Structure 1
Amino acid sequence: MKSKLYQKIEAGTAHVKSRVTISNLAMKSDENLQELIEIAFDIHHELHVKAFWSLDLVGEKKLKLLVPYLDAFCEVLPKIKNDSSLRPATRIAMFLAKSNHRKNGIKLSQEQEHILIEALIDRLIQDEKVAAKAYAMKALFVFGKKYNWIYEELKPILSQDYSNHSAGYKAAAKNILKRLK
């Protein structure tokens, strides 16, 4: 028998109301959260994308709930190929980078940082959608405050083929490049 959360994910859509309902249900209990994460992190599961859409909102609202699952997140992020789950996963990585940089935020291990950094750089140099690239840029900019070698890697990546990208990419890259000077 399918759980209530599973049924909601199955019936869910990309609409905000649907994603909010599922994320709220997941945040109400550890069991629901674990189920949402298991589905999201199983890249071969038919509901993987829908689960990530809602997990993104959990990360936005209550990032600390994801702490017990950080190693699993770090393991799955580089493996994600589907554009529709890549955007929310990269957004979660951005939330983690920002939190990691704050005094009272979530502290990532050095290994977790390096895995995320490598995955985010890969997202920038691969042919991905603009939203995932923009979140990757922002996260890498934050990580670069700790690891200044990132800025030296980021500058040529963002400048390269700048003119061949969309307006959204150009705006995000221009903002980051201006902050790197």
Structure 2
Amino acid sequence: MKSSALYQGLNQLTHSRHHRKEMALMVLENPKLIASLLKIAFQDDAPISSKACWVLEFVAKDRLDLLLPYLSIFTRQIGSVHRDASIRPLAKICEYFTKSYFVENDIATRNAFTNEDLEQITKVCFDWLIGEHKVAAKAYSMTCLLLLGQKFKWIHPELRLVLEQNYHRGSAAYQARARQILAKIS
């Protein structure tokens, strides 16, 4: 599959789980397409960018290691995305990365990340948590920040403050995740 075929495939992509998985399988069969997929994903002014993010999420779920060579591109660009349809899958990818780094203690992931990459994910997750975003992005951000707090000790007190201040305004799903995170911080 070439970049032009990737672009055409993304244009025809629907939100169905089956179609997203099918497109991700094509990328998994040709990992060189990840660079093109990332480029499209970060063209935030183009509606197709969200579709690229959906596919990236499925690729990351199956083979997170394939994104590691592009980690610095990913972490530098995620803060520039503003479409909710793109932010949710990007937040999920951040959660995959932080779980791989902190929970699974994956050597390849730990070696790929720099402090700057971790700090960038921290910044973006706080932005998503505080900003006017959907609950899924906020929930993934909470998990990322909980894990990142193992490395950066200042995160847990700040996360606690944000969750306590916004708890009463959050949806039931937000409140449930916030309770879980607050219990783990204590």
Using the size of structure 2 for normalisation, the TM-score is 0.92
1:54 Cα shift?
Answer: 0.9
Letter in 2 for 1:75: R
1:85-139 Cα deviation digits (max 9, x unpaired) = 0000011111111112233340210011111101111111111110000000001
Question: 2:148 is matched with which residue?
Answer: 143
* 2:84 and 2:133 in contact (8 A); partners too: yes
Q: Equivalences for 1:68-147 in 2 at 5 Å?
A: 68-101=69-102, 102-105=104-107, 106-107=109-110, 108-147=113-152
In the TM superposition, residue 30 of structure 1 has moved relative to its aligned partner by: 2.8
CA contact 1:25–1:32 (8 Å) conserved in 2? no
Unaligned runs of at least 5 residues, structure 2:
none
Shift of 1:2: 7.0
Distance in 2, Cα, partners of 1:77 & 1:4: 25
Q: Distance in 1 between matches of 2:84 and 2:143?
A: 18
C-alpha distance in 2 between matches for 1:135 and 1:172? 9
Aligned residue in 2 for 1:56: 57
Native 8 Å contact 2:3 2:33 kept in 1: no
Question: How is 1:29-44 mapped onto 2 (pairs within 5 angstroms)?
Answer: 29-44=30-45
The corresponding residue for 1:154 is 159
The CA deviation at 1:164 is 1.5
Percent sequence identity is 32
Aligned pair partner of 2:172 in 167, 173, 176: 167
Runs of 4+ displaced beyond 3 Å: none
How many residue pairs match? The answer is: 181
